[in-house]
Amino acid sequence: MGSLTPQDIALWPMPNYIDPVTRVHLILGVEIPLTVIMSFFMGVRLVAKRNLNALGDGNNYRIIISHTILIIT
């Protein structure tokens, strides 16, 4: 790879600062279904653990708190 010359830079297209192309809809289309699937499996796991172990432990509360923080961010 050689260094860029002014002729090479002149061939580049002009940047679109007014209406740039974004991928927000693509990101939301992936993140929202994955969050729903993750919440479903986490809920099933917590219900199963609650039914198997009536006393429970503090681990379930940590899972709920970390899941909530993950969704918020």
* pLDDT at position 3: 87
Q: Considering only CA atoms, which of 32, 39, 40, 34 is closest in space to residue 67?
A: 39
Q: Report yes or no on 1 lying in a domain.
A: no
**Structural domain span for residue 66:** 17-72
pLDDT score at 27: 93
pLDDT, one tens digit for every residue, the chain (73 residues)? 578 899 999 999 998 999 888 999 999 999 999 999 999 998 888 888 777 776 566 777 888 888 888 888 7
Provide the number of structural domains found in the chain. Answer: 1
Pick from 44, 25, 38, 29: nearest CA to 68: 38
Name residues whose C-beta falls within 8 Å of residue 45's C-beta, 6 or more positions apart in sequence: 63
- Is 26 contained in some domain? yes
Residue 8 lies in a domain: no
φ, ψ (nearest 5 deg) of residue 57:
-140, 180
Q: What is the CA radius of gyration of the chain?
A: 24
In a domain, 9, yes or no: no
